[in-house]
Amino acid sequence: MTPEELSRQLRQGSSRYLRKRRVVVGLSLVASTAMGVIAPYQMGLVSHIPEPPLPWLDADRVDAAPEAYGILATPDAILGLASYAGTMALAAMGGEDRAVTRPWIPLALTAKVAADTIMAAKLTADQWTKHRAFCSWCLLASAATFASVPFVVPETRAALARLRGASV
């Protein structure tokens, strides 16, 4: 496939798998936006993360916790931005028929979304168990991550069928 064909397919294609991939990109952009609100706080560019004044919300405490800096000695929102960029790249990669022509791509996307979902669930649980508070922006990112799951399953089934030799 030429870059011109790929451009046309990604922008104008209407296959059901491509429509679902677009949703995954959109949800990853929502999660990235949430990480983009947290990252400046974790890097000291701003002194407070705005959020609704509810008693169980405290983004400043949650996102300043030592655990938020424990992986690769990097603020977790920065790692989250990189992770969601990876998810978007896998969702955007390949043409409309990639389940047939490159079945490893949908499988890789599903593995990535599964890993993201497990991490989002763990981080959400940790917020409450360790801090007795939540970060609303983190909850938004987690919700967007969880919402991505059903959108990757159909193409993954098609890719697995292709690998088993069934017609898709």
pLDDT, position 4: 96
Question: 168 in a domain, yes or no?
Answer: no
Cα–Cα distance list, 100 to 1, 8, 48, 107, 121 (Å): 13, 19, 48, 12, 32
pTM: 0.93
Q: Looking at residue 146, which CATH number applies to its domain? A: 1.20.1440.130
The total of structural domains in the chain comes to: 1
What range defines the domain where residue 115 resides? 3-163
- The half-sphere exposure of 10 on its side-chain side, counting CA atoms within 13 A, is 18
Q: Residue 1 — very low, low, confident or very high, per pLDDT cuts 50/70/90?
A: confident
Rounded distance between C-alpha atoms, residue 64 and residue 42, angstroms: 7
- In the prediction, which pLDDT does 165 show? 87
Contact 12, 68 (CB under 8 A): no
Q: What is the mean pLDDT of residues 43-64?
A: 96
Q: Which amino acid is at 86?
A: G
Q: What is the per-residue pLDDT across 145-154, written as a single tens digit (0 to 9) for each?
A: 999 999 999 9
Does 138 have pLDDT greater than 70? Answer: yes
Annotate the chain with DSSP letters as a single string: --HHHHHHHHHH---HHHHHHHHHHHHHHHHHHHHHHHHHHHTTS-S-------TTB-HHHHHHSGGGG-STTS-HHHHHHHHHHHHHHHHHSS-TTHHHH-THHHHHHHHHHHHHHHHHHHHHHHHHHHHS-B-HHHHHHHHHHHHHHHHHHHHHHHHHHHHTT---
**What mean pLDDT is predicted for residues 11-15?**
95
Does the pLDDT at position 166 exceed 90? no
pLDDT of residue 93: 97
Is 120 within a domain? yes
Q: What is the pLDDT of residues 76-130, one digit of tens each?
A: 999 999 999 999 999 999 999 999 999 999 999 999 999 999 999 999 999 999 9
Cβ(152)–Cβ(98) under 8 Å?
no
